[in-house]
A and B are shown apart, each in its own frame.
Chain A
Amino acid sequence: MTAAIAVRGLTKRFSGRAVVDGVDLTVGEGRIMGFLGPNGSGKTTTIRMLCGLLTVDAGEGTCLGLDIRREAAAIKRQAGYMTQRFSLYEDMTVAENLDFVARVHGIPGRRARVDEAVARLGLGDRRGQLAGSLSGGWKQRLALAAAILHRPRLLLLDEPTAGVDPKARREFWDRIHGFAAEGMTVLVSTHYMDEAERCHAIAYIAYGRLLTHGTVAEVVAATGLAAAVVTGGGEPRLIARLKALPGVETATAMGADAHVAGGDAAALAAALDGLARETGAAWRPEAPNLEDAFIHLMAQSRDNFAAGEA
């Protein structure tokens, strides 16, 4: 398997501050890589460097076998980039926007391809509508249509489904998998756990540093977390009490029940046993999920970052 993205030590500084700091990232051809991390962690910045929109301060690597520093123009011809914020022309119609992109790429059979993209994304009724007057979800669909119009070999998607309804989201992911099956490589940033779970692999970035990557199962297992489900027993302040327990890192309400996780399985069990005796709440072990892993990673990276700053 050849790598569609292979970068090492990717670094970007804004006024001296390293916003992306030595990121190593490898994505195999035809794979879907989820890119996760808290707000401001450097996802957008990383993606922009990959497609030549930001100069790279340090590090090196290739996209589609092309050097990201020297061959950005060639990368742009073969990559599709969907920006986090809608950045097509709001004062042009759906069809005009797509037509412009198609012309720039010099797509043969332009009209047919635009029609096809419009139809594929269900934009048919709206092709003559100004992009600025589309609702948020429809804007996302248009942006995606524009990004894939020239059938890129690499698709960079920056939070493509923010604000998109569940049905459209599912269709969107089905389509992404369809593209991947055809050999397109996809790097997609998201804050949604269910979307992360749909990726072949995920990478997690915080404070500009890549903390972990691998399949979902690998990432969760690497954290060494234990988790449990606690069934209420009518305790009104269950979550607050759970959070106060030693050994519990996170506690989330799931209806009347609660999901808890902690780094040390034995400590977690001891704490929950104590609570059960006191309040009559019951608990049983459960597999930790990706969200537990991320919250754990986020807390850890904050500690590291604080330590590094001090």
Chain B
Amino acid sequence: MLSLARLAAMIFKEFVQIRRDRPTFGMIVGIPLLQLLLFGFAINSDPKHLPTGVLDADHGPVGRAVVAAMRASGYFEVVADFVSEAEVEDALATGKTQFVVTVPADFSRRVLRGERPQLLVEADATDPAAAANALSALEKLADGAAARALAGPSASLRRAAAPFDLVVHRRYNPEGETAFNIVPGLMGVVLTMTMVIMTCLAVTRERERGTMESLLALPLRPVEVMLGKIVPYILIGYVQVLFILVAAKFLFAVPMQGSLILLSAATIVFITANLAVGFTFSTIAANQLQAVQMGFFFFLPSIMLSGFMFPFRGMPVWAQTVGECLPLTHFLRIVRGILLKGSGGAEILADLLAIAAFLAVAGAVALRRYRVTLD
């Protein structure tokens, strides 16, 4: 049935073409690099010097002390002083400041009287990860700052846990995601993105350029064409994995507790599953543009609902259900499990089986839909 010589011919041909296709070649290296830089550094590096505005209606020592302590933490940089609520709204809405501290009138006096007034910190939580660390630092430093301001005559108040209530308004408070969590996850994200789109393109390109006619006139079996298009990208996928693992170790010092061999084995199943999805799309898409659009159609839910962007357990049930059907969700658990928790075969088995099931379905659909004729 399957002829290894013909399969080798397909694989060899694909490599010749990949080598010539500079932009795609660039994408293979560029996407992991870009994502590492964006997710690894830009987004998840502990952001500091965040623009902060202050509305101080108190003009008293305690409020000033709190603001000074915030500034000293390095997370907050006071860039504006406001006098009205309207200014506050505007600054947050336009993104001029990420935080606004509102010190109410009589704040210092009421603190001294022991009335526990409220200190309001509003955070622009559209990017919750960006504010998360700053906000957690805020809780600690507010206590100390107040304590210092109250030294001396009011020392008795220092015994209370906090002389005022810190009220933080934010719409979303994520679990503590760290680079350790993000970088291994990136492996799955990069593979999903490049593998699906690249196989999808590999087949539609044949159709769009008219080379499908010659290819179909050759005595190749569908499975030979399919594997011939998939195998080169498995190797490319491994290059990307290697790239990310090296970066994870040396750039981000991600711990690697488990077996890398086990990880490689799981990765090949995951890569192949994505390639099968790409191949299926390519049997539907009429041209390369549609292929890319379908790729994104698959990529977006993968990145959103897999637990990469948002904590999986924080998602509504319907989103979790969709997420469970996506191979990336399971792969993220496997990668994070192996690298961070040192999981072994037994722990990852369920997730690996889920990916394998996905692969079986996608592969069957791809083979069924692949036409050996032009109509």
Contact = CB atoms under 8 A, between A and B. Distances in A.
B217 A92 contact: no
A89 B374 contact: no
A111 interface: no
B218 A101 contact: yes
Given A54-B375, A87-B214, A103 B20 contact: no
Given A48-B374, A103-B6, A106-B5, A88 B214 contact: yes
B227 to A, nearest CB: 14
A83 interface: yes
Given A54-B375, A55-B375, A91-B17, A83 B9 contact: no
Nearest to B220: A104
A24 to B, nearest CB: 22
A106 B218 contact: no
Interface in A12-66: 14, 48, 51-55
Interface of B: 3, 5-6, 8-10, 12-13, 16-17, 20-21, 209-214, 216-221, 372-375
In the A-B complex, the 6 residue pairs with the closest CB atoms? A103-B9, A87-B214, A81-B217, A76-B219, A77-B219, A87-B213
A130 B20 CA distance: 10
Contact of A91 (B20, B218, B220): B20
Interface residues of A, number: 31
Contacts of B17: 89, 91-92
Interface of A: 14, 48, 51-55, 72-73, 76-77, 79, 81, 83, 85-92, 96, 100-101, 103-106, 130, 146
Given A53-B213, A106-B3, A89 B13 contact: yes
Given A53-B374, A85-B210, A106 B20 contact: no
Contacts of B13: 89, 92, 96, 100
B218 A105 contact: yes
B5 A103 contact: yes
A105 B12 contact: no
Contacts of B373: 52-55
21 contacts: A52-B372, A53-B213, A53-B216, A54-B375, A55-B375, A73-B219, A81-B217, A83-B217, A87-B214, A88-B211, A92-B13, A92-B17, A96-B13, A96-B16, A100-B12, A100-B13, A100-B16, A103-B12, A104-B6, A104-B10, A105-B218
Given A55-B373, A87-B210, A92-B20, A104 B9 contact: yes
Given A53-B374, A92-B16, A100 B9 contact: yes
B375 A89 contact: no
A263 B6 CA distance: 56
